[in-house]
Structure 1
Amino acid sequence: MWFHFGIATVQNKNWFYRLAYKDQLLDDSHINVILYYIRKRAKYSDNNTFRFISVDCNFNNLIHNIWDAYYNFESIINKDSTEESILQYINGYKMHVVAPWHTIDNILIPINVFHWILIVVSFNDRCIQIYDSLSGGALHDSYVENEIKKSSERR
């Protein structure tokens, strides 16, 4: 039997195995489903004072594409279509159970850098917070910092 979770359809029981047991790698579909239900609960809850949305795992790919399009002169990525996709996220048209960004305080962005990290962009505090479950040495921290720089640099 197939399981439909609103934004993903699971056809393989190993999908659940990865959630149930430790030391299993989660893929994009796991993270997208988890964040979908967090968004849904927050949107339809009556006593939610923390106003936020989350984006899916594809959002980070779009950020990488736009980074590559502007900083790599040999890039074949279409800037206009990538920017239009990002605008659809900002206006709340791209995903299920979202709100336009001007109505919320924080954005949760999942990023996969050998493991999952969570970036929280706070509009009220004008800061970016990084939640990294794997604390590594200087090499790990510099790699994560380089990945985050693509999301945080302004032009």
Structure 2
Amino acid sequence: MGLVRSEICRSPPWCQARLVRVENCGGRPRGHDKDKVYLKGKDKIVPPFRFGVEDVATKMWFHKLAYPGQCLTNSHLDIIFYYLRKKGKYAKEPKVKFTTTDCLFFKTIHALYEKFIAQKKNLSLITAQHAIADYIRGRKMLCGSPWHLCDHVLFIIHMETESHWILGRLNIEERRMYMYNSLSTAMKDSAAIKACQPFAVDCGCFVASFAEYFIDMKPIPPIFDVEKHRDRLAVLFYKYARMKELDFIDSEDEAPPKGPKKNLS
């Protein structure tokens, strides 16, 4: 059974109001090269911080997370969503049954869809052996859950042509997809689009925020300070990594269950 419908969720007022505050925050001079913050050789983290799905070996990872006006990378969102999955999976009384995907999922399903359309909607391309099926079974990611045990699936979606992140949410019972786009209400005329361009690089932070508010079943607030939220994430991850390092703590085995062996004959 397919989706009944999809729906764009209206973004809150702070998605536009925040523009002026970001532009005038005075954090760095104009023309500053944000990719060259540390002196040569001073950017390394040795040994790297281990975050389950990925190791972080550079200070720039935290710098890009902490300061507005910088795009979050696949690495940032994969790590953030990994810990959101852990939060939901190990909570004593989870408020909502959910799982998430990762950045690779979107690339994989996008490639499959393009092939599906190119071959005139050839249904034989959609098989139980495809990588997408492993995601659905909960076998593809650390701390993943089978979709049939969840009420919602949160998707990381990257619009490459716009270099923009958005959040997708599949309500399995309703068979409806919701899209959370920090620029959705601003994309109405060329002037608004132009005004939002400097602000668009904070979209990854908003995707993480949309997901966290939904998981905690809290309404998206009318006022939101992206600087404080970025700083909170950076500090939390740094303190957690240092705690693991100093106390010699290693994460438990969270490898997804192995599927049945494939018949190669």
- TM-score category of the 2 structures, normalised to the smaller one: 0.7 to 0.9
- TM value normalised by structure 1: 0.81
Quick check: which has more Rg, 1 or 2? 2
Structure 2: runs of 5 or more not aligned: 1-45, 120-124, 194-265
Match of 1:149 in 2: none
Runs of 4 or more above 2 Å deviation: 79-83, 135-140
- 3-state SS in 1 of match to 2:71: coil
Match of 1:131 in 2: 180
Match of 1:59 in 2: 105
Instruction: Give the whole-Å Cα distance in 2 for the aligned partners of 1:59 and 1:82.
Output: 16
Structure 1: runs of 5 or more not aligned: 74-78, 141-155
Instruction: Give the whole-Å Cα distance in 1 for the aligned partners of 2:145 and 2:51.
Output: 20
Instruction: Give the whole-Å Cα distance in 1 for the aligned partners of 2:59 and 2:126.
Output: 39
Q: How does 1:1-155 map to 2 (within 5 A)?
A: 1=46, 2-73=48-119, 79=125, 84-113=130-159, 114-135=163-184, 136-138=186-188
Query: C-alpha root-mean-square deviation of aligned residues, in Å?
Result: 2.1
Instruction: Give the whole-Å Cα distance in 1 for the aligned partners of 2:127 and 2:57.
Output: 31
Instruction: Give the whole-Å Cα distance in 1 for the aligned partners of 2:101 and 2:154.
Output: 6
Name the amino acid aligned to 2:130: E
Question: 1:94-150 CA distances to partner (integer Å, 9 max, x unpaired)?
Answer: 00001111000000001111221000000122211110112332487xxxxxxxxxx
8 Å CA contact 2:154, 2:170 repeated in 1 = yes
Cα deviation for residue 68 of structure 1 reads 1.5
Instruction: Give the whole-Å Cα distance in 2 for the aligned partners of 1:116 and 1:21.
Output: 17
Instruction: Give the whole-Å Cα distance in 1 for the aligned partners of 2:168 and 2:174.
Output: 14
Instruction: Give the whole-Å Cα distance in 1 for the aligned partners of 2:70 and 2:183.
Output: 14
Residues matched between the structures, number: 136
8 Å CA contact 1:62, 1:82 repeated in 2 = no
Q: Identity percentage over the alignment?
A: 36
Name the amino acid aligned to 1:21: Y
